[in-house]
Amino acid sequence: MMRQYELVERVKRYNPNADEALLNRAYVYAMKAHGSQKRASGDPYMSHPLEVAAILTELRLDDATIVAAVLHDTIEDTEATREEIDTLFGHEIGALVEGLTKIKKLDLVSKKAAQAENLRKLLLAIADDVRVLLVKLADRLHNMRTLHYVPVEKRTRIAEETLDIYAPLAGRMGMQEMREELEDLAFRHFSPEAHAMISARLDEISERSGPVIEEIEKELATKLAQYGMKADVKGRRKRAYSIWKKMERKSVSFEQLSDIFGFRVIVPDVAACYAVLGIVHTTWPSVPGRFKDYISTPKQNDYRSLHTTIIGPGRQRVELQIRTQDQDRINEYGIAAHALYKDNRASDKSALARESRAYEWLRRTVETLAEGDSPEEFLEHTKLELFHDQVFCFTPKGRLIALPRGATPIDFAYAVHTDVGNTAVGCKVNGRIVPLLSELHNGDEVEISRAPGQVPPAAWESIVVTGKARAAIRRATRAAVRKQYAGLGRQIVERAFERGKKAYSDEKLKAALPRLARTSLDDVLAAVGRGEIFSGDVVKAVYPDYKDEKVTGVEANRTEGGWFGLKKAEGLVFKVPGAAPRTAPSIPIRGLNGDLPVRFAPNGGAVPGDRIVGILTPGEGITIYPIQSPALTAFDDQPDRWLDVRWDIDEAVPQRFPAQLSLTVINEPGTLAQIAQIIGDNDGNIDSISVTGRGAADFREITIDVEVWNLKHLNGIMNQLKQRPVVSSVRRVNG
């Protein structure tokens, strides 16, 4: 276990002005607080917070963060209190320790909703002071280093959680070294057989390739020195997890990998980076498509470097990363490498925001908490943000937009602004019109075409790859559906007040919201539209003395030809030839693409020209039935669900409607072809066909779902079918 003086020495190596008394006081306080507590390994518990502090000294963090690491388990696991820590160490350190304690109490579990809620709280804690995250990551790293002491049944869960959340979060903060170690340690326990196999192969190759690596390092350094370039060339072996992920992603074997070793060229400044690139590319052939410039277009986690692959010394394929010393430090230590911490300016949050793009990402992610997504959706959104490689695209005005690999113009539109995504109807990529579903590539210039009032199709949700786009499409789809139901509900409510001879106004209904257990006018109207509240109950809420005179029976006789007399349902009168006029206006039905949530009877449908009735189905909107449909008998005792509806067809915008035909036909070759030919020649559209036997082998029963313009069109097709010798009978199915 680290001694008190060793901790102080570690801090003073990079910060000679460290508060030695503060560090000593924290060490003694934590030692007394943890007392005789033991870890699973049998070591004194105090060894854990000291190792966490040691990890943070490698990141050269400020005194307050080191002290918070030493104390991070005291409130959770000992008798220590926040007030006591504030008194002894100050409010800043007390807030850090309490933030870590709250996270400690919320350790992630495998259940998705619980994991999501815990991640939400973790991000909220670190958004206020990112040093909470740095201590938490160091805490997780030491726990992973000692995971072999934990019971076997817990190891896989902890390793999976590390791969899902902590390692990507470290990467998103630019802390590549920590991310790689967390991934490799988790991989060791998550898939021990694969880890052992890849590690053994890597050791074998390292032993065999050692002289080659040294030769490449030497030749690269010599060549650069000839041009007067001062450069430090280092070869490094990739980690087992990185190799495994590449094998999985590219579906290749270990033997097919050619970039197991990478080389870093560290130079004094940015100009030297590009000079080295020129020397390398003019000395050895480069591999096409393997050059990336992350200096001119940094990654969102502040990563800056030039990447290229060459056919180098000895015809070896060599992957090079060219960067400055400052870039190398930031690439390895990320947000922890910023001068903010070295200079002890932890309270200057604006300085951190200016220096770190990674912190800006964290802020944006936390802003999504205000969008009201469910915990599961938030987890999905955040994971989409954590796991991705990037492509860089541009707006026509030159604004750079970073997107995940595989992103589409839809993702691009939402990255520009949510309103741009919601109203997108088309796009141009590099001046050419392309589908919105096209995959974008590095350097693409994307121009989005918009249409006011456009609502994004729900199907887009399964196409986009960014969490922001997916969440925005969900919200827009919900809002559109809610608007439909609210519009339907308003029509139903206004007609209910009209037939009850009561005055309606939004103000009167708002005053009655408490009696309807709803918080807004739209909530009530949408609930009526979905069938969750009946219109009569809304009238009663506004006018408590109102009595709804509903007729609960069927005051009509139905035959194959239609209805005779009147049927009263929810106070409405359906007009048929020879009957009395309507007492209230009916709801116009325009079809599946209209403004209302409408669907047609599942068996048989309905077409313009049919006399129709609407049945309000809770959660589904209106189902339209032909008035002669026998299925309507199932709703005879539910008059509240009946709606008076009428066709409202725009002849300038023709639309097909569903109908179902049942045919008895002769079982001989070509019969089905003749039937399909007749329907096609008469401009009908076949949606589906099913064929069944009919007892005798000479006949078959065919059921056809067909789409037609109107009743006249349907009757014409039926008459044509009846004239064919192979057709014994044709009838329309009315579900």
User: Pick from 629, 630, 592, 635: which is nearest to 612 by CA?
Assistant: 629
Spatial strand order in the sheet of 612-617: 598-600, 621-626, 612-617, 642-643
Q: What CA–CA distance (Å, rounded) separates 138 from 53?
A: 8
In this structure, which long-range contacts are made by residues 675-682, counting pairs with CB atoms below 8 Å and at least 24 apart in sequence?
675/702, 675/704, 675/721, 675/724, 675/726, 675/727, 678/717, 678/720, 678/721, 678/724, 679/704, 679/706, 679/717, 679/721, 681/720, 682/713, 682/716, 682/717, 682/720
Cα torsion angle, 540, 545, 549, 550, sign: positive
User: Pick from 620, 504, 626: which is nearest to 574 by CA?
Assistant: 626
Beta-strand (E) ranges in 388-476?
390-394, 400-404, 424-429, 432-434, 446-450
Q: 468 by DSSP, 3-state: which?
A: helix
Which residues are marked as active site? 76-77
Q: What CA–CA distance (Å, rounded) separates 101 from 293?
A: 41
Q: 610 by DSSP, 3-state: which?
A: strand
CB 388 within 8 A of CB 404: yes
Please give the structure tokens belonging to residue 661.
């035909």
Q: What CA–CA distance (Å, rounded) separates 441 from 390?
A: 9
Please give the structure tokens belonging to residue 329.
């430090």
Please give the structure tokens belonging to residue 611.
């006399």
> Each residue of 355-385: b (16+ CB within 10 Å) or e?
bbbbbebbeebbebeeeebebebbbbbbbbb
Q: What CA–CA distance (Å, rounded) separates 578 from 586?
A: 18
**Where does 59-191 have alpha helices with state H?**
63-71, 74-77, 82-89, 91-104, 112-128, 131-145, 152-161, 167-172, 176-190
Q: What CA–CA distance (Å, rounded) separates 708 from 636?
A: 29
CB 183 within 8 A of CB 171: no
